[in-house]
Structure 1
């Protein structure tokens, strides 16, 4: 099938179907930058494993000390009729909090990424159209407009509408603009894309929150040491396990 003949829904499906590897271990550095350019840096270890069409992942915070041993567990279900499950373990309280739907538009650990951003969006919850064809740098992209089909999805994500810049050569979303219900905008930019063992990985990503063209806050995620096909047991992805720590 020629890429020129693809419909908006077919492009969205190819984005979802893109190989993201399995049994993955990686190290992530999260840098939080406020409007005065003050920076906070956090180090994390991420583990992810496919279970059929579903994906399980866990993130352990390693440092600094105020977030050490915090852990975040996600069950990302392929079935659109099942809500994704997320839990956050807070060691200071020795308590695991389940992230309910009404909290998913909230900030993940003080970053510009929401809890909803930490899962793969279900394409059946959105309507798509190709807004136009363009370039990001010297790479051809489709600019796709996506709108939630239901108020439930708007409430969970906090987004009224998004534009996604999808590369024509590999179906990676290299840029996105999200329009929030509170009038803010969030800009996602993939600053570095690497092919690791045949899988395209966004190894440097920036998410910036703006209002009236003023930057309020931004988050940079740097992913390193990506290893696929690691021996990760399924029991690793449980509330009991995240409460133990690494």
Structure 2
């Protein structure tokens, strides 16, 4: 009889703990779990970018992406192919402690570095369907720096979030995100304008795990209003490589 009572009490404790954990899961916690899916402090990637026009014409580009986290999170994207865009580089310096994010674009044809600021951050990133702000988020910035999340619905596999924009530099009115519970990775993101019209859909797929870091190797961005789309593919990925901090400087960009 004592054994049965003990088992019953243990069962109650487990159920109570599970219920408590479920109660603690809110939008902020979901964003934390998304951020925790990647623990590496640095990465380097070989990527392919495919640009599709509304008529279906496609242009392909290759680029390298480097990221290093620290007191200032640094990210660098350098295009290597084709020849007409080779050397074009984008540098992001995110000083979260001082709430300062600096973006720089180097165009070889102009031979100089241009700072991207204010409303320019919502402009097209080198002719793609991604904005500079989009690139900032997908290059590794924490979602919670840009959004406040609220759970809209939930089932055994997916959590749907409402994303309130808290970064004043982001031009979207609000967003929605669908998060996979088995991976704690985003599966789909929608962005809406001030008239509550859908303007952009982002689908993530080809999930992978490398050295304990989870990621989507394919990101497809559809501009609903223009009918164009951009696909990013992570061809080669290395986490926690040794990176020279000097590459994350405007001076380095001008030497390329």
Rounded to whole Å, the distance in 1 between the matches of 2:146 and 2:241 is: 32
| CA spacing shift, 1:124–1:28, aligned 2, 3 Å | closer
Higher Cα radius of gyration: 2
Runs (5+) with no aligned partner, structure 2: 1-16
| CA spacing shift, 1:173–1:122, aligned 2, 3 Å | closer
Number of the residue aligned with 1:72: 90
- 2:252 counterpart of 1:241: yes
Number of the residue aligned with 1:11: 30
Number of the residue aligned with 1:99: 116
* 1:91-240 paired onto structure 2 within 5 Å: 91-119=108-136, 120=141, 123=144, 125-134=146-155, 140-149=157-166, 153=167, 156-181=169-194, 183-211=197-225, 216-240=227-251
Contact kept? 1:35, 1:216, Cα under 8 Å: yes
Contact kept? 1:15, 1:171, Cα under 8 Å: yes
Rounded to whole Å, the distance in 2 between the matches of 1:30 and 1:121 is: 23
Rounded to whole Å, the distance in 2 between the matches of 1:18 and 1:55 is: 17
Contact kept? 1:78, 1:122, Cα under 8 Å: no
Tell me how far 1:36 sits from its aligned partner: 0.2
CA deviation digits over 1:185-212, x for unaligned, max 9? 111101211111111121111000102x
Contact kept? 2:39, 2:212, Cα under 8 Å: no
Rounded to whole Å, the distance in 2 between the matches of 1:103 and 1:83 is: 16
Contact kept? 1:184, 1:209, Cα under 8 Å: no
CA deviation digits over 1:83-135, x for unaligned, max 9? 31110001000011111022111111111111001122552553321111147
**Paired residue total:** 232
| CA spacing shift, 1:167–1:114, aligned 2, 3 Å | same
Tell me how far 1:229 sits from its aligned partner: 2.4
Rounded to whole Å, the distance in 2 between the matches of 1:17 and 1:40 is: 34
TM-score normalized with structure 2 length: 0.83
Tell me how far 1:33 sits from its aligned partner: 0.1
Tell me the C-alpha RMSD between the 2 structures.
2.0
Matched position secondary structure for 2:99:
coil
Contact kept? 1:104, 1:115, Cα under 8 Å: yes
- 2:101 counterpart of 1:87: no
Tell me how far 1:235 sits from its aligned partner: 1.0
Matched position secondary structure for 2:32:
helix
Number of the residue aligned with 2:68: 49
